[in-house]
Amino acid sequence: MFDHLDNPNPRLPTEGGARAALAEGRRRVRRRRVVVGGGTAAAALVALGIVGTLVLPGGSDQEQVVVDEGDGRTTSLPRGGIVGEWTPVAYSAVVVGQLNQLLSLRADGTLLAHDGCNDLTSTWREEDGHLVLTSDPVVTTAACPPGFDDRELHRILISEPRIDVWDGDPATLELRSGDDWIAFGRTDGTKPESGERAVWDIDPDNPPSSESSTFTALVTGVSCNNGITDEVLRPGVDPGEATIVITFNVALPSSGAAFCPGNPPERYQVDLGEPIGDRRLVDGGCEPTDIASTSFCAEGPVRWRPPTEAGAFDPEASTVCPESISSLRLSGGTLVAAYDTTYVGLEEVLGEEDTMTNPPAPDTPVSLCWYEGASFVPPPEMGEPSVVDAVSWYVDRLPVGAASTTRDPHRPGG
């Protein structure tokens, strides 16, 4: 079909080119070996061929020793290499359901993990180039939906497997067990400190302006906690082109059973690190989670809009959407549009990676809107803003994707 576009005189690749690619590839890759667990349990798992891989962040200023996979060399691992909070960004298999997994390796030797349902606590230390869990993991016993106990994170940590460390991509951490793997990204500042999810609002007495780089949030824990909002933890601040998503957690309740009279808000000074500009402030607590459908997020996740937006072109107001967005639902991974026979794969709506790492809960309201002449948020794959002119997708009223089409924009059913 496109043979006529071929290069008639392609230059044949040389071995020098291969060596250069390999050298540069090696520079980007650092391999290390770490053992989680130890003793007979780990030895037995190794004997069974259960081997894991951790991908560590690069960092030229840290002591890092390259250890080729399989050659048996182990070296001292700088503790700073993996200290921090990690959240999953990809899995070897499609994971169904809401994910809120987290692995925290704290400098004080505490290991905390959340598999999406239960919490796992242990301690860790570095020993002769190995990462060793120094106490039996303590796991909460909440009743979980089917499949949670079998998740990669839960299984790998509980099993105390031998884990290799592999660095293929800076700021990435990967657990591998046989063909299964789970890749983490550093939470850095974009994810909140782990705890119970909370929602927030602007302090009406002290609202920010476009020039503000800090503002006061009123944070409310949403779990039953005897009418108390526990300690507000460091929020995640995720600045984007059109939005700044701020996500809060509060400290875990100290006791199990609790009454639910409603919790009062606590003030928290948020440092954005840069002026808000013409971006919206969005409550990440209202992004697809079990909270999203509650009254806390009934008005949507946007907590503040720039004053200039009122007089500017509003793409939402110009969209041609179905009258009732509730007619569009996610059902079994398929977006079903009620107004015509459109069936769109979930991965097409959210992008494959987003579908894997942050799938919306079933029955999440989704709108699919046609609009005309709008400059809008691009699909995630495009990376940077651009003008598109045909269709956009919203999940819980947040734009998650858009695309142009060769056809003229048209009204659904029209």
Partner 1 sequence: MSAGEDRDEAFIEAYPALFLRASQAAFRVTGDAGVAEELAQETMIRAYTRWSRLDDRRVGWVVTTAVRLAIDRWRREQRRPRRVVSDPIPELDAVAAQRVDLVRSLAALPRRQREVAVLRYLEDQPEREVAQMLGCSVGSVKRHAARASAALRAALEPPAPITEAP
- Site of interaction with partner 1 (CB under 8 A): 1-2, 4-7, 9-13, 15, 17-22, 24-26, 28-29, 31, 68-71, 168-169, 345, 347-348, 351-352, 379, 381-384, 386, 403-407
Pick between residue 22 and residue 41 the one whose CB is nearest to partner 1: 22
User: Shortest distance, CB of residue 348 to partner 1, whole angstroms?
Assistant: 5
Q: Which residues contact 237 (CB under 8 A, 6 or more apart)?
A: 189, 190, 244, 245, 246, 270, 271, 272, 273
User: Shortest distance, CB of residue 400 to partner 1, whole angstroms?
Assistant: 12
CB 135 within 8 A of CB 38: no
Pick between residue 232 and residue 400 the one whose CB is nearest to partner 1: 400
CB 272 within 8 A of CB 240: no
User: Shortest distance, CB of residue 231 to partner 1, whole angstroms?
Assistant: 40
User: Shortest distance, CB of residue 19 to partner 1, whole angstroms?
Assistant: 7
CB 274 within 8 A of CB 259: no
User: Shortest distance, CB of residue 14 to partner 1, whole angstroms?
Assistant: 8
Pick between residue 6 and residue 61 the one whose CB is nearest to partner 1: 6
Helix (H, G, I), strand (E, B), or coil: what is residue 375? strand
Place of tokens 């040389």: 14
User: Shortest distance, CB of residue 383 to partner 1, whole angstroms?
Assistant: 8
Pick between residue 169 and residue 201 the one whose CB is nearest to partner 1: 169
Q: Please report the beta strands in 92-231, taking only residues with DSSP state E, as ranges in sequence order.
A: 102-105, 110-114, 119-127, 130-133, 138-139, 162-167, 172-177, 180-186, 196-202, 214-221
Report which of 189, 196, 253, 190 is spatially closest to residue 219, judged by C-alpha positions.
196
User: Shortest distance, CB of residue 160 to partner 1, whole angstroms?
Assistant: 23
Pick between residue 264 and residue 345 the one whose CB is nearest to partner 1: 345
Token representation of residue 107: 């400098």
CB 377 within 8 A of CB 402: yes
Pick between residue 122 and residue 172 the one whose CB is nearest to partner 1: 172
Pick between residue 291 and residue 388 the one whose CB is nearest to partner 1: 388
Give the chain's end-to-end CA distance (angstroms, integer).
34
